[in-house]
Structure 1
Amino acid sequence: MTTARDIAELVRLPAALSVPGDALAGAAVTGTLGWRTAGLAASSVCLYWAGMALNDYADRELDAVERPERPIPSGRVSPTAALRVAGGLTAAGIGLAAVGGRRAVAVALPLAATVWTYDMLAKPTPLGPVVMAAARSLDVLLGGSAAPRRAVPAALALGAHTAAVTVLSRGEVHGSSPAVARAALATTTAVAAAVAGTGLRRGRTGALGRLASATLAGTYALTVGRAQAAAAASPDAVTVRRATGTGIRGMVPLQAALVAGGGAVATAVGLMAAGPALRAAAKGISPT
């Protein structure tokens, strides 16, 4: 019998704490942070969970060999149930996007299509990291859908980070290579520098916002970069898996840096609380 915990494992429940910051970042940098942002964040979470369920559905035969403890190969969740969960969460995500109006729905639809394309088609191909990065970028644009052009730099920053983490994550089972880990580290450094620089140049942010943005970007670079440097020195599966988990959690300070750079310092501080919560929750249910 499938339990609530089985479903929580299927959708990687704790990892969803890394998702609302996308919508907050998009809204903050476009100056549209408000009550509608909560609905867009909830939409993002639903689509993320849908992607996780769909991931396990698509990988069920591979997981039976490499990760037999996962819900589907262990027999705790049937493939049909996983597909239904993915479909239901996708519909919920698109429906919640309607809170932001037609522009938000216009972003949520291709976002949902990108999630399904990644899991069902692109994941095992060289285009997999690109498609995953596109999904994360669209997630930021969902939050900034009221003025999407202004959200593009933030979307690209989170997209680049996601691509690096996704490429490195391919070595979670059999290990990676020093070159891949070094490339991820270089990407992290470049993204942190770009976000900090953008925050410092924003005239309307104020001194506190600029300082907070630079500090949070540095926090992101230090935490994620340290784990990726360890993977570059020893690219075995355990170290790579640890670096991947750190990269997922590292979304939070990166998002917070963007939010602070958009002038919403209090929101950025509140968002940082998701970091410890994600680490604590990950002890019970793996986010990867």
Structure 2
Amino acid sequence: MGIVWKAYIQLARPANVVTAVSDVIAGAAIATLYLADGAWQHPAASWMLLVLATIGLYGGGVVFNDVFDAKLDAMERPERPIPSGKVPRKHAALLGVALFALGVFAAGFLGCISCLIAISIVLMCMLYDKWAKHHVVVGPIAMGLCRGLNLLLGMSLFSTALPETWMLAGIPVIYIAAVTTISRGEVHGGKKSPLLFSAVLYAVVIGLIAYFGILKSERWLGVVVLMLFAVMIYLPLLKAIRTTAALDIRKSVKYGVLALIFMNAVWVAAAGLWGLTVVVLSLFPISIWLSKMFSVT
């Protein structure tokens, strides 16, 4: 019975879900950074709903990724829950629907804007899982939009800041486009050109965060976290560029996903929320611990 439940949990990529939680916290932090009074007051229930919403939305998205990829995984990754027979495909689809419903329902309690963003995330996830991920250009963009919308979901907690902050949701689009481009070689190995392109995209992301976050707030803690983020994403990527081996590319993808926590922590630190920065950074060891039990990719 334990093995069966572990297979269902694996479908939702729990280590990745933790990074999604950091997304919405970062989104809310960005909003306060751009609010005139820098207010950070909101009922605890709203935070719980926000976290619950992103858990459902992200979990549903990755579950349907495996549902749609069942035949391909049977050839390339037969150890995954569905092709291995541990989880029937129909049951996996029902789990995905339940998680999506949880996400939209929780977001609905936060307001109309949050609910609409949640529905947009569901639609974008399904678009990516079913069709876009098989397209070289559209795939990375669609996956990035899923993350960008998740950041926007966090911003919606302080909706009055959205007119000034919504465009910053494009930064995760660039970042995830980089990670997704790297991941194309994680099964059979890759070529240097897409890895080098991802390195450039990483640099763009770091520059944008520095300009719109750290320079706006001028808080040193944000600089420190940004440096940690840069080291975490570039060290495995540079090794993957040297070897182009599938194992090294897979490791680069893994840390690219986990480093989202540090990227999000930069925004929280830039907003001057030191205590919450510690909370976000504490999600990293939790995500690492979960990644040792459940696959990230």
Normalised to the residue count of structure 2, the TM-score between the two structures is 0.91
Give the 3 Å change call, closer, same or farther, for CA 152–225 of structure 1 in structure 2: farther
Report the AA paired with residue 248 of structure 2: T
Is residue 14 from structure 1 mapped to residue 24 from structure 2 by the alignment?
A: no
Give CA deviations for 1:125-173 in whole Å, capped at 9, x if unaligned. Answer: 1211111111110111111121323333542222211110011111110
Pair 1:167 & 2:181 matched: yes
State the identity %.
28
In the aligned structure 1, how far is the partner of 2:214 from the partner of 2:282?
23
Counterpart of 1:54 in structure 2 is 64
Give aligned pairs, total: 283
Contact 2:49 2:106 in 1 (8 A): yes
* 2:121–2:149 Cα contact (<8 Å) kept: yes
Alignment partner, residue 197 of structure 1 = 211
- Pair 1:157 & 2:166 matched: no
Match of 1:233 in 2: 242
Conserved? CA contact 1:46–1:90, under 8 Å: yes
Query: Given the alignment, which residue of 82, 95, 99 partners 1:85?
Result: 95
Mapped to 1, the partners of 2:181 and 2:294 lie a distance apart of 22
* C-alpha displacement of 1:177: 1.2
Please tell me the root mean square deviation across aligned C-alpha atoms, in Å.
Answer: 1.5
CA distance in 2, matches of 1:129, 1:37: 29
Shift of 1:211: 0.8
Q: How does 1:123-162 map to 2 (within 5 A)?
A: 123-126=133-136, 127-145=138-156, 146=159, 147-162=161-176
Asked if the contact 1:199–1:214 (Cα under 8 Å) also holds between the matched residues in 2, the reply is no
User: Is the contact between residue 37 and residue 143 of structure 1 (CA under 8 Å) also seen in structure 2?
Assistant: no
SS in structure 2 opposite 1:273? helix
Q: Secondary structure at the match of 2:238?
A: helix
The answer to whether residue 283 in structure 2 is matched with residue 274 in structure 1 is yes
Contact 1:41 1:143 in 2 (8 A): no
Mapped partners of 2:9, 2:193: distance in 1? 34
Deviation of 1:3 after TM superposition, in Å, equals 2.0
CA distance in 1: counterparts of 2:166 and 2:238, whole angstroms: 29
Q: Distance in 2 between matches of 1:80 and 1:8?
A: 16
Residue of structure 1 in register with 2:36 after alignment: none
Deviation at 1:85, TM superposition (A): 0.6
8 Å Cα contact 2:26/2:268 also seen in 1: yes
What is the alpha-carbon distance in structure 1 between the residues aligned to residue 176 and residue 224 of structure 2?
21
Does the 8 Å CA contact 1:197/1:214 hold for their aligned counterparts? no
- Residue identity opposite 2:14 in structure 1: L
Q: Deviations over 1:197-227 (max 9, x none)?
A: 323332xx4x5xx211111111111110111
CA contact (8 A) 2:258 2:284 kept: yes
Give the letter aligned to residue 92 of structure 1.
L
CA displacement 1:37-74 (0-9 Å, x = unmatched): 33122211111111111011100000000000000000
Q: Structure 1: where are the runs of 5+ without partners?
A: none
Which segments of 5 or more consecutive residues in structure 2 lack a partner in the other structure? Answer: 33-38
Structure 1 residue 261, shift from structure 2 partner = 1.5
Find out whether 1:44 has 2:54 as its counterpart.
yes
TM-score by length of 1: 0.94
Aligned counterpart in structure 1 of residue 232 of structure 2, from 210, 220, 223: 223
Verify: 1:260 aligned to 2:261, yes or no. Answer: no
> Which residue is equivalent to 1:94?
104
Moved more, 30-39 or 275-284: 30-39
CA distance in 1, matches of 2:122, 2:165: 19
Residue 255 of structure 1 and its aligned partner are, at CA, apart by 0.2
Q: Deviations over 1:103-127 (max 9, x none)?
A: 1111111111101111012111121
Given that 2:145 and 2:172 are in contact with CA atoms closer than 8 Å, whether structure 1 keeps it comes out as no
Contact 1:11/1:52, CA 8 A, preserved across alignment: yes
> Could you say which residue in structure 2 is the equivalent of 1:115?
125
